[in-house]
Structure 1
């Protein structure tokens, strides 16, 4: 019998190591998050292009443009301090970042801008247009037209100027059905318009619009009819004392700019007189 040994047996344990190819350490999550962020920014850009006006887009573009003077003491914005800091009024004037005046009052603090044109609020025509509207629509208590004629007038102010729209109703047309002969309703409206036009010196633009006609017609008269009616209104206004030199544009738009849901509605028969901005 052999002698027994007190040495412990040696046990060798082999561990199988599995590679991490299937998990990639989570790097794909970072790449996916970057992709989602880029897509969100892209769709936000597409929404802004569709939801903003040309003037607003210009303001956004000017904000990120290096041509806009942005200094360390100016935020470049149009917020609570108008793009300036609390210390802007203590800087030198006319250095693109300081005060607007050497001794500025509270109502004449320096104001920042992003290039958005706010001149519409300060144009001198604004007050004249308001008075014209009040005179035609009787908002000031006195009107150049009667209540029966006033319901044929709609006014609105745009970037181009003050638009006075004269429109027909089913029972009171502005012209004879198939030509440019004015009705008594239109003659009364033009008389008031000519009188109102004498109070300002703005240039004038005329545009004629007519309702749609059936497509079965061999010859659609909408273009000739709208142009003829606009031209007839021009001659009537000039005969009532409006200077011919003030006429800047006379156009016929046919049935391409309808305002009523029904293309053949009488409401689409209208004349638009625009008092152009100087």
Structure 2
């Protein structure tokens, strides 16, 4: 065996290993992308559900909330449920079928200002009736439509507006129309009066049905308004729609579907019809 020379120099070699750590499966950017994808899918399925679960009028109300198309400012659409709102002139309520609150209406036209005044008068009338007796104000709803401002006078099981199956008004209906006529006389817009019934079949004889009943009730409302000072020349239309346009679509037999709709025509709607 060969011997190592005593004067030989020993060299120490150090071998370093380069350890590469996995950086969380190539970083965390994929998590952000995945979260965005899941959020987009959730929004998509929510949209699909809304399209399937709402009516055409409700979808229009939602669309008008984001892209207002009715020329009214400082007011919101009043109605009976969440989509239609609860007050026409509440400043702290965003417009749902109008064009916004005070900041938007600073440059409103004379026509828009007049529509705002009409809406405010109707809402003030409703509030005044509520101060006198809640049994009157609960029968009144105010909302916006493409035709104009609609005042709904709705029925109830405990306090009906008309005698059962007849067009004779109750004292409640007379009192309501007497109060309504005062507000209608503050402006000059034409009005449309439409009668509505529920879907219960009329049991009268001689071919008299809900179509005839709703028309007769609308005409009775016209007569009462005229007797309280509304000029007859301002009544543009008197008609009945039976149960074809329920206020509560999910409950066609509900008492609130029995109502009289008084539409205060706006200039936009009047121009479209001429």
* TM-score of the aligned structures, taking structure 1 as reference length: 0.53
> Does the residue aligned with 1:223 lie in a helix, a strand or coil?
helix
Q: Where does residue 117 of structure 2 map in the other structure? A: 128
Equivalent positions of 1:29-108 (< 5 A) are none
> Does the residue aligned with 2:189 lie in a helix, a strand or coil?
coil
Q: Contact 1:145–1:189 at 8 Å: present in 2 too?
A: no
| 2:156 aligned residue (151, 169, 178) | 169
Query: What is the deviation of 1:215?
Result: 8.9
Q: Deviations over 1:121-164 (max 9, x none)?
A: 632323212322332221xx686963220010010122221110
Cα distance, 1:199–1:222 mapped onto 2, change above 3 Å: same
> Does the residue aligned with 1:238 lie in a helix, a strand or coil?
helix
Q: Contact 2:189–2:266 at 8 Å: present in 1 too?
A: yes
Q: Does 1:207 align with 2:206?
A: no
Aligned equivalents of 1:259, 1:188: Cα separation in 2:
22
Q: Contact 1:176–1:183 at 8 Å: present in 2 too?
A: yes
- Paired residues, number: 173
Structure 1: gaps of 5 or more residues: 1-46, 57-117
Structure 2: gaps of 5 or more residues: 1-47, 53-58, 64-98, 268-274
> Does the residue aligned with 2:261 lie in a helix, a strand or coil?
strand
Q: Let me know the Cα RMSD of the aligned residues.
A: 3.6
Q: Contact 1:125–1:277 at 8 Å: present in 2 too?
A: no
Q: Where does residue 242 of structure 1 map in the other structure? A: 230
Name the larger-Rg structure. Answer: 1
Aligned equivalents of 1:144, 1:201: Cα separation in 2:
27
Q: Contact 1:208–1:254 at 8 Å: present in 2 too?
A: yes
